[in-house]
Structure 1
Amino acid sequence: MNAPLHAPLAALDWTGVETALDVQGWALLPGLLSPADCEALAGLYAGDAGFRSRVVMERHGFGRGEYKYFAHPLPDIVARLRTALYPLLVPIANRWNAAMGLDVRYPADHADFIARCHQAGQLRPTPLLLQYGAGDYNCLHQDLYGEHVFPLQLAILLSEPGRDFDGGEFVLTEQRPRMQSRAEVVPLRQGDAVVFAVNQRPVQGTRGIYRVAMRHGVSRVRAGTRHTVGIIFHDAQ
């Protein structure tokens, strides 16, 4: 769990990642975590240490399944991923906001952005660990949590499709103005991550830039157990 993260991050095609985000609102980061790291993170779910709260989705109408929010200090690998990925995504986030006519800009360092969240009363860490069993699913949603929202987030699949579970595809939808929603299934294997728009992204139309709202969820798990870690860069109220 203490292996450096610079190697898998440096190996990624960040020009391709940026292009994919601009074109479709999401990008695949293959092999971000090793199988050993995935299994170690998934194994944390069985205990309560290191978590601040547990949510049973069905009680709130979120779907079926459950998740736990990590407490501070975050697991080392989650904290390092959050810190290392943020500055790579900041240029995209700032460019998107400028294109959409939004005044908000994000600082280069994640600690400075978290300080901004905390000054606004967003004090609770948002990275989370999700667990799904047979019949479980996650309704389409957005992870906003407060006034200060970083426009990109990450989901990392910790389980192996076809071995640990069946079904349970990661699903994204986008709602363009005056058009029906479009859905897309993201193909993930164990250790793969998807970075995607939290809320809105800019799209070039014939009359200029317009905003597209995106939501994400997980289709019904048909068999087995599926674990995912979510990395959200803003903290919550």
Structure 2
Amino acid sequence: MSTPPRQAQPTTTHPADLATRIDRIDWTAVTQEINTHGCALTPQILTPAECRAISRMYQHSGHFRSTIDMARHRFGSGQYRYFDHPIAEPVATLRETFYPHLLPIARDWAEKLRRATPWPDTLPQWLDMCHAAGQTKPTPILLRYRQGDWNALHRDLYGDLVFPLQVVIGLDEPGIDHTGGEFLMVEQRPRAQSRGTSTLLRQGHGLIFTTRERPVQSKRGWSAAPVRHGVSTIHSGTRHTLGLVFHDAA
């Protein structure tokens, strides 16, 4: 049985325009916020029409390599899909444009923790390294939550090669398309109780956050604080988000 052709999604977004929006973010302020809290919101980078176009991709399985039922794997409740090669636009442009802006933060964190800084200057070079190590599966994710769904606290690692930051973009409007569904982060602080953060993700806005851990300063110097993330229960409606992970999976 032949596979049905992938259905193209109409969009008027030019990749250069999208890249310009990301380049114009106040990256000095974002970097300071990430270093302070382990996460930072971006201004609106996708229009409502662009958000809806990405959300509609969920209906067309040809865009994706796999679909995960979260309850089946005890990850929570809901469903998400991993994009397949070639990654659809504008998802590919978002991923490639964010990477060089996050790279200085990644390198700075690694140096503070006295670790290697393996990440090259461009995303294609980094993904080539992932693929050479056997991590060949694309990891951008389209997630769908409905009433009663939630996501357990977790980390998106996928292999030995890990980029320490990732991005989630809200595709629906809180209070209109859904209620509940706040993005959650829990940071395990060295020799202290854990700290929780709850963020309401607006439509078209991104949240940059740490993938696994971040450096925190103490009297003894820099230590690695493990961080996990998840999503609180959806009370009503449907919540779609786009997840951008910058390392591929084994």
Q: TM-score, normalised by structure 2?
A: 0.93
Q: CA deviation at 1:10?
A: 2.9
Which runs of 5 or more structure 1 residues have no equivalent in the other structure?
A: none
Superposition misfits of 4+ residues, deviation over 3 angstroms: none
Is 1:179 the counterpart of 2:188 in the alignment? no
Alignment correspondent of 2:111? 98
Match of 1:80 among 85, 93, 96: 93
How much has 1:12 moved relative to structure 2?
A: 1.2
Q: Secondary structure at the match of 2:21?
A: helix
Q: Could you tell me which residue of structure 1 aligns to residue 240 of structure 2?
A: 227
Q: Which residue of 1 aligns with 2:8?
A: none
Residue 122 (structure 1) aligned with residue 122 (structure 2): no
C-alpha distance in 2, partners of 1:101/1:185? 30
Aligned-pair Cα RMSD in Å: 0.9
**Match for 1:25 among 26, 29, 38?**
38
Q: 2:55 aligns with which of 37, 42, 49?
A: 42
Q: Which residue among 185, 196, 203 is the counterpart of 2:209? A: 196
Counterpart CA distance in 2 for 1:129 and 1:188 is 15
Distance, in Å, in 1 between the alignment partners of 2:111 and 2:176 is 43
Aligned equivalents of 1:43 and 1:76: distance in 2? 13
Task: Give yes or no for contact 1:131–1:228 (8 Å, CA) kept in 2.
Answer: yes
Which residue number in structure 2 is paired with residue 157 of structure 1? 170
- Asked if the contact 2:19/2:94 (under 8 Å) is kept, the reply is no
Q: 1:104 offset after TM fit, Å?
A: 3.2
Listed one character per residue, the Cα deviations across residues 173-229 of structure 1 (whole Å, up to 9, x for unaligned) are 100122221111113210010010000111111221111111110000000000001
Q: Is the 8 A contact 1:140 1:217 kept in 2?
A: yes
Report SS of the residue matched to 1:212. strand
- Secondary structure at the counterpart of residue 12 of structure 1: coil
Q: Percent identity?
A: 46
Between the aligned partners of 1:210 and 1:11, the Cα distance in structure 2 is 32
Report the Cα offset of residue 160 of structure 1. Answer: 0.4
State the alpha-carbon separation in 1 of the partners of residues 201 and 70 from structure 2.
23
Name the counterpart of 2:153.
Answer: 140
> For 1:137-191, what per-residue CA distance to the aligned partner results, in whole angstroms no more than 9, with x for missing partners?
0000000000100000000010000110000001111001222211111132100
Number of equivalences: 237
- Within the candidate set 182, 187, 190, 1:169 is matched to 182
Contact 1:164 1:225 in 2 (8 A): yes
SS at match of 1:73: coil
The amino acid across from 1:159 in the alignment is: D
Distance in 1 between residues matched to 2:219 and 2:234, nearest whole Å: 40
Aligned residues of 1:97 and 1:105 also touching (Cα < 8 A): no
